[in-house]
Chain A
Amino acid sequence: MDTTYLNLLAEVQPQSTWFPIDASASNQVDSLAYFILVICGIFLVFNAGLMVFFAMRYRQQKKEGVAVGATHNTALEVTWSVIPAFILAIIFIWGFRGFLHQSTPPENSYDIMVTGYKWGWDFTYPNGANSKAETDPESGKAMAPALHVPAYQPVRLTLQSNDVLHSVFIKQLRVKKDVVPGRFNQMWFEAHYDEATAEKTTIPTKEGGTVTVSRNVYDLFCTEYCGQNHSMMLTKVYVYQPEDYEKWYASMTLVDPTTPLVKLGETIWSTQCKSCHSIDGSGAANFPSWQNLYGTTGHATSAGPVDVDDAYIYESIRNPSAKLAGKAGGGTYGNNMAAFPNLTDREVRGIIEFMKSVSDKAKADEGLTYGDLNLDGTLKGESEGEEGGEAGEGDTPETPEADIPEADTPDGQADPEGQTNQAANAAD
């Protein structure tokens, strides 16, 4: 036999227990599961054993004759109805108590917002920052943003979906909850930190240096079927010791909400778009260049000619396959771009302003910041801007949800008042 199988088998059972590593400080699953497993084993051996024994012991010798025996016995029937009922009652109560614990987050929980989308995850932390897309530590491939949590601290996840049903499943923490569009579901867990299986890694700090942290790495699966890449909607859960979590948390850079949009757009372009989209016309044979693109009228696409305006760019970022850009010589560039659902609306706005700045057909306002624009692109009046500013000075929640309500709106026509307030919240 191929020895890789043996290696794989060894990996499957890293502990002596049947289930995967238990990283949960409040495991409600394993002990009941073992209890049920033992009950199942006893009944299976009893039933199958009796069946096989009877088949051998009472096997027919001659085809003549019939067997005579009791045709009913009420006492026996009642006995074998009541005994299972008793066992079932124990299992029910045990399971229900565990479930109550599983579904009641403690009051001191640490809150993280989770957004599921086709096909990835987005995590928003109490300071308003999102964890960034990273590479899978095992395969080195690109991976959706991961979930970073502190150990020994109840963590409450608030779940929402941008599109269809998803489900968060972290097997080592024994938790699962569906992510349902149109409602907020909640789940919680408290993780152990396991020194033996932890990995050491360095992460960049905000100041430009690096810092070493150690953390446990677990898998996060989507367990509700959600279409084409359902089986690839995986990411990692990183569990840090509390002091290391502080280091990681401090390393998360919050974008300064007063950054001019053009500057913000340029930063995003240089990190996420530049490899395909040039701004000087180069590489146009393979990917559309942004040079002089904004403001083009009658731009050929797979869905007919369109004007390259804010709405078209917004759609091309959120849903790239809707209107594939046409090549100069005919045909389209093909369906090569993945959607970017985890860019906030402000970041999309920034990209649009940046595209304007590299196009002769439009003029970007280099000093523009978020909330200064009306939906039609004109500047807002003085009074509206001040109103927004006042709202920002009051008590506002710590977690801005800038990218939540708008994400469902394909053309970005969100409520302008709401945008103003959110921008103000972010500034708070």
Chain B
Amino acid sequence: MTVADRPITTDIYGEEIELKPGDNYINHSKGILSWALTLDHKRIGLMYMVVVLLSFFLGGVFAIALRTQLLFGAASNITDDSVVGSATWNNLYNQAFTLHGAIMVFMFIIPAIPAILGNMVLPLQLGAKDVAFPRLNLMSFYCWMGGGALLGCLLVGAIIHLAFGGENAPAFLSYIPNGLDTGWTFYTPYSIQANNSVIFATMGAFVLGFSSILTGLNFIATIHMLKPKGMGWFNMPLFLWALYATAVIQILATPVLAITLLLLAAENALGIGIFDPKLGGDPVLFQHFFWFYSHPAVYIMILPALGVVSEIISVFSRKHIFGYKFIAYSSLAIALFGFIVWGHHMFTSGQSPMINALFSLLTMSVAIPSAIKVFNWLATMWKGKIRLDTPMLYAMGFIWLFTIGGLTGLPLAALSTDIYMHDTYFVVAHFHYVMVGSTLFAFLGGMYYWFPKMFGRMYNERTGKIAWAITFIGFNVTFFIQFIAGTQGMPRRYATYLDQYTVYHHISTLGSYILTVGLVMILVNWIMAKKGKRAPANPWGGNQLEWHTNSPPPHENFKYDPVGTDPYEYRDWKYDEKIDGYVLDPDHDPSNPEHKPAH
């Protein structure tokens, strides 16, 4: 019998322990209700994982649908009776990009790292039993489900309309929300002239927003109240700093979105005249309200990713993180600057040149803390002992994508060049590099990194590396070419395009298919890991507290109340070839009550 087959694993000291039913959080209790009503942050994290990945799949289906349409969208394919360029074609495309955006932003990227990895890891990194308010945590999960269901109604409605719509549509159809075609940004006045689906969508996003607010509140309270003995603000893992900065944005900015969406719904249903120019309202006011949330939301998406990468780079370089305080403060700086740059979305809207100048200057300032992080990661790798496992490959892929995404923000922050590039594919490529490329790669890297801890099994390293290469190539093929299309003037949100842009669209679509293959491979690898090798307590040699417990952790997380030490000091963990993991000498474990001080 091999080690993998025997129900035996090792604890943090490398001692064999026999696995018994009920000794970890996954098999701690049985039955649907034990999951649906769980207060365990780890189980809530897993439930988020299932539904958020499902949303990612749905959003991906729409992405592939619209990229496939764009294979055929050249103007020369349009004739009087062609499908290309017909009303149906355009409507399908407009609905596809709207739902792609809305699902990916509200249901995937925003919750991906905080709700899945944050829920899973934050209390563990604090050596705590759970978050500060476990019931609130469950409630935020159900807020997510409620908001998701409202957005799901739109999808179902669109399918019903597709099936029964047309010349002799039955009367009941008018009560069912049709697909949404306003774009995820809901710009007025188009969104107040559209059908009742806008109300469903805004209510969906409204409820999803509460999920985000409650999670943020919980994380802030947990980080303030539940730090263990020996852990101060400046020996917290950097992932916690990133989650803290994210949570600050979540609780300050998301209520503005809630207000905005309520006003939009009221405008739609009651015609209160705040955004509708016919009633004396101002459509650009909506853009200010919307981006006052949605620009900080970009940092809700990217900040946790920066935290994940800081962890991975240090652990896989086997070296203390370089410039801890600068990285921690730069997270806060990004969160702060993120609030005062929203106006750069309206450079062409006709707002005053002075406002434009201020927002341009403030936007530039975000580049500095971002650059600081990248330089600090490179300095951490310098003279390290770098192991190129899958999580590290994703972290390095992240640095590449984030560097491109960040640098291409410069011509969009500078005023004169933004006038040219605004609302072209250059912008599309830029925000996909930042939001999708960077956040997705950090999320995948984080999933691989904490996978052994979450499930107690190792994924297949070789498949992981191949899938990394495919996703990396697929992503860059899809989106790099869009920078070029954008500099050539290709406008965004176009269902059809001039023939001169055909090459760009074909290459981009090809890339999106490659990316899909890579993502499917990753999913298969994770599912196959069910039968993978049992993971040791600490496969990577990190000293953050989540590695100070078994894989997967027991229901109450730790055997002893852990004591915080420098999370980036790895020297006490010794490599054990037998288990391919790192073990701690019990005498060096300050958490162990029988601990004898060694130094």
Contacts and interface: CB of A to CB of B under 8 A. Distances in A.
Chain A interface SS verdict (over half): mixed
B488 A230 contact: no
B503 A96 contact: no
Contacts of A171: 420, 488-489
Interface string B380-400: 011111111000000010011
B349 A51 contact: no
Contact of A71 (B277, B320, B364, B399): B320
B417 A48 contact: no
Interface in A68-100: 68-73, 76-77, 80-81, 84-85, 88-89, 91-92, 94-100
Given A102-B416, A225-B493, A164 B378 contact: no
A58 B190 contact: no
Interface string B355-369: 011001100110110
A84 B73 CA distance: 41
Contacts of A77: 323, 326, 372, 376
A259 interface: no
B283 A71 contact: no
B189 interface: yes
A95 B415 contact: yes
B176 interface: no
Contacts of B189: 163-165, 181
Contact of A92 (B282, B414, B495): B414
A67 B575 contact: no
**What band does the interface of chain B fall in when counting residues whose beta carbon is under 8 Å from A?**
35 or more
Contact of B283 (A28, A48, A165): A165
Contact of B420 (A33, A92, A103, A408): A33
B288 to A, nearest CB: 13
B376 to A, nearest CB: 8
Interface in B344-358: 348-350, 353, 356-357
A221 interface: yes
Interface stretch (B20-28, B86-94, B208-216, B510-518): B86-94
B416 A176 contact: no
A310 B360 CA distance: 52
A210 interface: no
B379 interface: yes
A339 interface: no
Interface residues of A, number: 95
B153 to A, nearest CB: 22
Given A164-B189, A185-B350, A88 B423 contact: no
A231 B66 CA distance: 14
A377 to B, nearest CB: 26
A66 interface: yes
A115 to B, nearest CB: 14
B385 A19 contact: no
B382 A58 contact: yes
Most A-side CB within 10 Å, residue of B190, B321, B325, B422: B190
Please give me the 5 A-B residue pairs with the lowest Cβ-Cβ distance, nearest first: A182-B277, A98-B416, A95-B414, A171-B489, A99-B415
13 contacts: A8-B499, A36-B410, A51-B381, A65-B318, A67-B317, A80-B375, A95-B414, A99-B416, A139-B76, A167-B423, A186-B350, A223-B422, A228-B94
Interface of B: 73, 75-76, 78, 85, 87, 90-91, 94, 167, 181, 183, 187, 189-190, 193, 277-278, 280-284, 317-326, 348-350, 353, 356-357, 360-361, 364-365, 367-368, 371-372, 374-376, 378-379, 381-388, 396, 399-400, 403-404, 407-408, 410-411, 413-420, 422-424, 487-489, 491-500, 502-503, 506, 541, 568, 570-571, 574-575, 577
